[in-house]
Structure 1
Amino acid sequence: MNKIVARTAVIAATAGAAIAIATGPASASADNYGSIAISTSTGNIGWSYDYASRATAESVALSNCNASDCSAVVWFANGCGAVSKAPNGAWGWGYAASREGAEAQALSHTQGANAEIVRWVCTTGHQ
């Protein structure tokens, strides 16, 4: 009788482990947020990625920017953000599911010729 109980316990434990593996961790469906902050006076850039909320991602980006006039200019969830700058001092930014898309948006939003990407960031879970 003890062998039957022991086998039943092993089968139940194995089935439970299989269910846990199949469903994955509870956080697998959680969003990952990121942000980029810039200081237009100093050119400083701060960024963040893989935070649980937009507010935290923006706060960390601002903190990493290290200038009094830093502003969080773009945030994104499960994707990428990018910031561009033109030689005339114009800035642009964008976000998309992919790095390439975010960079294209940033460049298209920069008012000036010969703009270049100065920072891009992607979260885990981007395309």
Structure 2
Amino acid sequence: AVGTVNVTTNNTLINATIEFDASGRISTITDEEGNTYTTTATTETDNDAYDDAYNQYEYNQYVYDQKQNEINASIEILQAQDKSLELRLSTLDTQHTAIQTELEAVKKVMSKNIDNSFKTFNA
């Protein structure tokens, strides 16, 4: 692809023709005087930096997984304690109901005894 651009440099207007390569990068620039400037794009990979970053990522993932496992273990402990407390509460509710029933029975017996005593002494 070829295009034209106007560039102002030091208050001077320059007409230039710009050519692009297949990837869309500028490949050549030709000014109005016919001077052609070739540009190239290169990619440099810093493997050491990449390896360091990847190792840091792996370490962070390991730490995250460890924390997640600790949290899950704590949740399991809390759930077991909760279940134990629920069972204890259920037992206490059952005992409370039994005591209330027994108390009502004792009250009835006492009431009958009082009524029978009054009948005996008043008769």
TM-score normalised by structure 2 residue count = 0.30
TM-score normalised according to structure 1 size: 0.29
Structure with higher Rg: it is 2
Larger RCO, structures 1/2 (Cα 8 Å, 6+ apart): 1
More helix by share: 2
